[in-house]
Amino acid sequence: MIKNFEEIKLQLMELSDIVNSFKSEAVQLRIVELVFGMEAEHEQDDQDETPEKPRKKTARRKRAAKKPEEDTPKKTSSKKANGQGAVATLTKLVDDGFFKEPKSIGNIVEHCDHNLARKFKANEFSGKLGRLVREGTLTRTKNSENQYEYQSK
């Protein structure tokens, strides 16, 4: 249980006058806990004194120093676009006469998907369609489903 029981007993007898001089039991308990706590920590220190292996230091990588830029021309990207974007496709549809009859934005997306093999979302066309309406290239009216239909003037 307690290794040095007799030694602790003698220490407590010496401390009893001091501990009893405090009127508060809470303070008395706190002092006793501190005494036993110090002993418990001392016992743990004796047990935990196992030698630890020293860590090996690993070399850190050094950052490459930035080379001063010379007057060499920078390489341009060799990638090219895979096709037209939504705005260019919509402009092409207007020029080809696709909007002779009223078309909803869903019809435009479907036409691009099936006939042009280009997948677009409806929101990719909405900004340009609004611009074409403001410019007067297209007109828009609501259909029976309360959706806008766009038509050439």
Q: Average the pLDDT over 55-65 and give the result.
A: 78
Nearest 5°: CA angle at 24, between 19 and 29? 55
Q: What is the mean pLDDT of the chain?
A: 81
Side chain identity, residue 115? N
Rounded Cα distance, 124 and 115, in Å: 18
Give the model's pLDDT for residue 83.
66
Sheet-wide strand order for 138-142: 103-104, 148-152, 138-142
For residue 98, what is the DSSP state? Answer: G
17-26, 28-37, 63-72, 122-131: range with highest mean pLDDT: 122-131
Radius of gyration from C-alpha coordinates of the chain: 43
pLDDT at residue 52 greater than cutoff 70? no
Q: Average the pLDDT over 40-59 and give the result.
A: 64
86-152 — its CATH code?
A: 1.10.10.10
- 17-31, 55-69, 104-118: least confidently modelled range: 55-69
Give the model's pLDDT for residue 63.
81
Rounded Cα distance, 37 and 54, in Å: 30
Task: Flag whether the pTM goes above 0.75.
Answer: no
Nearest 5°: CA angle at 123, between 103 and 82? 95
Question: Where is 60: in which H helix or E strand?
Answer: none
